[in-house]
Amino acid sequence: MKKEELIQKAYEIAAERYAAVGVDTEKVLETMQDFHLSLHCWQADDVTGFEVQAGSLTGGIQATGNYPGKARNIDELRADILKAASYIPGTHRLNLHEIYGDFQGKVVDRDQVEPEHFKSWIEWGKEHNMKLDFNSTSFSHPKSGDLSLSNPDEGIRQFWIEHTKRCRAVAEEMGKAQGDPCIMNLWVHDGSKDITVNRMKYRALLKDSLDQIFATEYKNMKDCIESKVFGIGLESYTVGSNDFYIGYGASRNKMITLDTGHFHPTESVADKVSSLLLYVPELMLHVSRPVRWDSDHVTIMDDPTMELFSEIVRCGALDRVHYGLDYFDASINRIGAYVIGSRAAQKCMTRALLEPIAKLREYEANGQGFQRLALLEEEKALPWNAVWDMFCLKNNVPVGEDFIAEIEKYEAEVTSKR
């Protein structure tokens, strides 16, 4: 029997099993088709970017490993992204940092960036049906230091305010060109290695900077703001903490970004979803895998990620949450890292959509704790993987482990040239 026939047969059995607990697998497949990840461009080149004057990676960020085949320029990076996308079912977006502009070999400081520096990206996105998202870039710059938007040096602070304003203008042009809002994420590394005795001062400065940045309203882009616990060399104090950005986002009606690596190791990011959605319009996810710290390991189908996606479905928030990836593992093949992480996130969403939520809510409403827990456990053994395989088959991408050999072949081709 051919593999396609086995997949079809397994799916038919799975559909019957799920129908018995009130789940329509065809509806799940339709919903998955509308599930779009924002692929992070920085996985392909270890957060190097294309600035002519680029320096070493700073801002409490570290990419570990030196695996061969790293993208060295804009053409190689684009080729790698398209190659990775060919193994990921569905249609997806691309998330760009400002340092990935098409600067044409010219020195363009960050307070001088213009939409023209991303014109070729906009055209490339249209050509490949890949809509764009955007990020300002505060790290890896001579004026970064430990403080950017919260810097008491007014000249440096205004430099970063101007940079971020210009990034919003770029995002607006991206959104206008693609007919769909470009989501622009604002994260700054600002913090201190040791004890800080004037925390209020820096947070007041950051608040003022954000108010200046967001003073201009746009129709074709959406702002999101991202917190962090700490960075390497900035362990004791983070200006843009979770509390700071929740307060700012709720008071200014801004989207909050939840990076799964930016919280304490035992903190549940899933538990934040329902609370935040009561007070802010939308959420952005940066899905990563922290191991002991914000180490940006490749996303896998682990419990925290599954819980996060389950909570989004349980909240009925599919239309209020946006999904991005954020890791940069330089210790393994980078295209493979894209594919593993992306497919893991999609698997988690598939599992979440297949949960027999109506029956579970009925048990909960009736106080039937035993029945609820029993069904939660039994549904883990239902054939969700058959539904996932069918999703891959319908999208003409490799099913199961078939993509491994194909990526190995591509790796051999590119590493001999790079």
> Which is catalytic among the residues 46, 226, 355, 379?
226
The verdict on whether 80 is a catalytic residue reads no
The verdict on whether 294 is a catalytic residue reads yes
The verdict on whether 187 is a catalytic residue reads yes
> Which is catalytic among the residues 228, 254, 322, 347?
228
> Which is catalytic among the residues 97, 286, 322, 347?
286
The verdict on whether 302 is a catalytic residue reads no
The verdict on whether 326 is a catalytic residue reads yes
Contacts of 74 (CB under 8 A, 6+ apart): 50, 100, 102, 120
Total Cβ atoms within 10 A of residue 366: 10
> Which is catalytic among the residues 146, 282, 294, 379?
294
> Which is catalytic among the residues 70, 97, 141, 262?
262
Amino acid at 6: L
Q: Is 296 labeled as ligand-binding?
A: yes
The verdict on whether 262 is a catalytic residue reads yes
The verdict on whether 228 is a catalytic residue reads yes
d(C-alpha 183, C-alpha 281), whole Å: 13
The verdict on whether 296 is a catalytic residue reads yes
> Which is catalytic among the residues 296, 329, 355, 379?
296
> Which is catalytic among the residues 187, 272, 311, 379?
187
Could you write out the three-class secondary structure of the chain? CCHHHHHHHHHHHHHHHHHCCCCCHHHHHHHHHCCCEEEEHHHCCCCCCCCCCCCCCCCCCCCCCCCCCCCCCHHHHHHHHHHHHCCCCCCCEEEEEHHHCCCCCCCCCHHHCCHHHHHHHHHHHHHCCCCEEEECCCCCCCCCCCCCCCCCCHHHHHHHHHHHHHHHHHHHHHHHHHCCCEEEEECCCCEECCCCCCHHHHHHHHHHHHHHHCCCCCCCEEEEEECCCCECCECCEECCCHHHHHHHHHHHCCEEEEECCCCCCCCCCHHHHHHHHCCCCCEEEEECEEECEEEEECCCCCHHHHHHHHHHHHCCCCCCEEEEECCCCCCCCHHHHHHHHHHHHHHHHHHHHCCCHHHHHHHHHCCCHHHHHHHHHHHHHCCHHHHHHHHHHHCCCCCCCHHHHHHHHHHHHHHCCC
> Which is catalytic among the residues 172, 282, 326, 389?
326
Contacts of 83 (CB under 8 A, 6+ apart): 335, 407, 410
Q: Is 262 labeled as ligand-binding?
A: yes
Q: Is 208 labeled as ligand-binding?
A: no
Say if residues 301 and 347 touch (Cβ distance below 8 Å). yes
Which segments are annotated as binding site for Mn(2+)? 262, 294, 296
Enzyme catalytic residues: 187, 226, 228, 259, 262, 286, 294, 296, 326
Which segments are annotated as binding site? 262, 294, 296
